[in-house]
Amino acid sequence: MSDPSGGYSGRTASPSDDADRAVLVLVADGQLDALQDLYDKYRTMAYSIALRITADASLAEDVVQDAFLGAWRNAARYVEGRGSVKTWLLSIVHHRAVDAVRRRKPTTELPEAEAVPPSNLTLPDIWSEVAGNLERDEIATALATLSDVQREAIELAYFGGLTQQEIASRTGAPLGTVKSRIRLGLLSMRHALVGAGGTLAADGFGDEPS
Amino acid sequence: MTEQPMTHAQAIDLAAGYVLGALEPAEEAAVHAHLRSCPESHHEFEELGGVVPYLAEIPDLELVEPPASLRDRIMAAAAADLAERKSSATAEPAATTEPPAPVEPTAPPGPDAAPLTFPSTAERPARRDQISPFGWAMRIAAVVAIVALAGWNLMLQGQLDRTQRYDRAVADVIAAAGQPGSQSVILKPNGESTARGIGAIRSDGTVVLAMRDLQATSGTQVYETWVITPGEGVAPVPVGSFTVDVNGTAAITTAPTTAPPGSVIALSLEPGPGSTAPLGPIVSTGVGVAPAG
Mean of the pLDDT values across residues B236-260? 85
Helix and strand counts by DSSP (H, E) for chain A: 8, 0
At residue B113, does pLDDT exceed 50?
A: no
pTM of the model: 0.51
The residue type at B130: Q
Of A31, A116, A158, the CB nearest to B25: A116
Mean of the pLDDT values across residues A158-187? 94
pLDDT tens-place string over residues B165-174: 778 888 888 8
Task: For residue B133, give the chain A residue with the closest CA.
Answer: A33
Q: State how far residue B181 is from chain A, nearest Cα, in angstroms.
A: 18
The pLDDT of residue A34 is 92
What is chain A's mean pLDDT, rounded? 75
Rounded to whole angstroms, how far apart are CA atoms B246 and B155?
A: 8
The pLDDT of residue A143 is 83
CB–CB of A154 and B20 under 8 A? yes
Mean of the pLDDT values across residues A65-78? 89
A131 or A155, greater pLDDT: A155
pLDDT tens-place string over residues B249-262: 888 888 888 888 88
Rounded to whole angstroms, how far apart are CA atoms B285 and B151?
A: 32
pLDDT tens-place string over residues B173-230: 888 888 888 888 889 888 888 899 889 998 888 899 999 888 888 888 889 999 988 8
Q: Is B78 part of the contact surface with chain A (CB cutoff 8 Å)?
A: yes
Share of chain A above pLDDT 70, in %: 68
The pLDDT of residue B65 is 93
The pLDDT of residue B181 is 87
At residue A128, does pLDDT exceed 60?
A: no
Q: Is B211 part of the contact surface with chain A (CB cutoff 8 Å)?
A: no
Using alpha carbons, select from B26, B46, B17 the residue that is nearest to residue A158: B17
Tally Cβ neighbours within 10 Å of residue B166: 21
Gyration radius of chain B over CA positions: 22
- Angle formed by the axes of helices A32-54 and B68-91, to 10°? 120
At residue A47, does pLDDT exceed 60?
A: yes
At residue A130, does pLDDT exceed 50?
A: no
Location of each CATH 1.10.1740.10 domain in chain A? 14-129
- B227 beta partners: B237, B265
Contact present, A50 and B56 (Cβ < 8 Å): no
Rounded to whole angstroms, how far apart are CA atoms A71 and A94?
A: 13
CB–CB of A87 and B171 under 8 A? no
Restricting to B residues 118-157, those with a Cβ less than 8 Å away from any Cβ of A are: 119, 124, 126-128, 131-132, 134-135, 138-139, 142
The pLDDT of residue B274 is 82
Between the two ends of chain B, the Cα-to-Cα distance in Å is 14
Confidence of residue A123 (pLDDT cuts 50, 70, 90): very low
Contact present, B257 and B220 (Cβ < 8 Å): no
Contact present, A81 and A1 (Cβ < 8 Å): yes
Q: What is the CATH number of domain A14-129?
A: 1.10.1740.10
Mean of the pLDDT values across residues B120-142? 46
Rounded to whole angstroms, how far apart are CA atoms B196 and B208?
A: 14
Mean of the pLDDT values across residues A135-164? 87
At residue B21, does pLDDT exceed 80?
A: yes
Rounded to whole angstroms, how far apart are CA atoms B204 and B201?
A: 8
The residue type at B45: F
The pLDDT of residue B41 is 81
DSSP chain B: --SSPPPHHHHHHTHHHHHTT-S-HHHHHHHHHHHHH--S--HHHHHHHTTGGGGGG-TTPPP-PPPHHHHHHHHHHHHHHHHHHHHHHHHS-S-SSSPPPPBPTTPPPPPSS-------GGG-TTS-S---HHHHHHHHHHHHHHHHTHHHHHHHHHHHHHHHHHHHHHHHHHHHHTSTT-EEEEEEE-TT---EEEEEE-TTS-EEEEEESPPPP-TT-EEEEEEE-SSTTPPPEEEEEE---TT--EEEEPPP----TT-EEEEEEESSTT-SS--S-EEEEEE-BPPP-
B73 or B158, greater pLDDT: B73
B98 or B200, greater pLDDT: B200
Residue B26: partners with Cβ closer than 8 Å, 6 or more residues away: A114, A116, B2
B72 or B59, greater pLDDT: B72
Q: State how far residue B143 is from chain A, nearest Cα, in angstroms.
A: 12
Mean of the pLDDT values across residues B33-40? 86
Rounded to whole angstroms, how far apart are CA atoms A209 and A121?
A: 28
Rounded to whole angstroms, how far apart are CA atoms B191 and B157?
A: 28
Q: Is B36 part of the contact surface with chain A (CB cutoff 8 Å)?
A: no
Mean of the pLDDT values across residues A16-33? 87
At residue B140, does pLDDT exceed 60?
A: no
At residue B66, does pLDDT exceed 90?
A: yes
- A200 beta partners: A130
Optimal mutation site among B3, B74, B87, B127, interface A, most CBs of chain A within 10 A: B74
- B209 beta partners: B199, B252
A104 or B140, greater pLDDT: A104
What is chain B's mean pLDDT, rounded? 75
SS3 A130: strand
A63 or B190, greater pLDDT: A63
A141 or A129, greater pLDDT: A141
Mean of the pLDDT values across residues A157-178? 93
In the sheet that B183-189 helps form, which strands lie side by side, from edge to edge? B237-242, B222-228, B264-270, B282-287, B183-189, B196-201, B207-212, B250-253
Using alpha carbons, select from B34, B20, B157 the residue that is nearest to residue A95: B20
Strands B183-189 and B282-287: antiparallel
Tally Cβ neighbours within 10 Å of residue A95: 23
The pLDDT of residue B231 is 77
Share of chain A above pLDDT 90, in %: 38
Q: State how far residue B90 is from chain A, nearest Cα, in angstroms.
A: 15
Contact present, B21 and A157 (Cβ < 8 Å): yes
At residue B14, does pLDDT exceed 70?
A: yes
Optimal mutation site among B40, B58, B72, interface A, most CBs of chain A within 10 A: B58
Confidence of residue B123 (pLDDT cuts 50, 70, 90): very low
Burial B232-260 (b: 16+ CB within 10 A, else e): eeeebbbbbbbbbbebbbbbbbbeebebe
Q: What is the CATH number of domain A131-204?
A: 1.10.10.10
Confidence of residue A3 (pLDDT cuts 50, 70, 90): very low
The pLDDT of residue B279 is 86
Q: How many residues would you count in chain A?
A: 210
The pLDDT of residue A36 is 92
Confidence of residue B84 (pLDDT cuts 50, 70, 90): confident
CB–CB of B66 and A77 under 8 A? no
At residue A145, does pLDDT exceed 50?
A: yes
Q: Which residues of B touch A164 (CB under 8 A)?
A: 17, 22-24
Residue B103: phi, psi to the nearest 5?
A: -60, 125
